[in-house]
Amino acid sequence: MSRNQYAWLMLGSLVFSLIGGAISSRFFIGASASAQKISQWEKVIAAEDFLLLDKNGNPHARLGLLEKDQPGLYLKDFNDKVRAVLVLSEAGSPSLSLLDKDGTPRARLSLSDEGEPGLSLLDQNGKVIWSTERARK
DSSP classification of residue 36: -
Domains of the chain (ranges; CATH) run 49-136 (3.90.930.1)
pLDDT top residue among 108 and 70: 108
pTM of the model: 0.64
Confidence grade of residue 45 (pLDDT, cut at 50, 70, 90) = confident
CB-CB contact of 49 with 64 (8 Å) = yes
Dist CA 13 CA 11 (whole Å): 5
71-98 tens-digit pLDDT: 999 999 999 999 999 999 888 899 999 9
Confidence grade of residue 106 (pLDDT, cut at 50, 70, 90) = very high
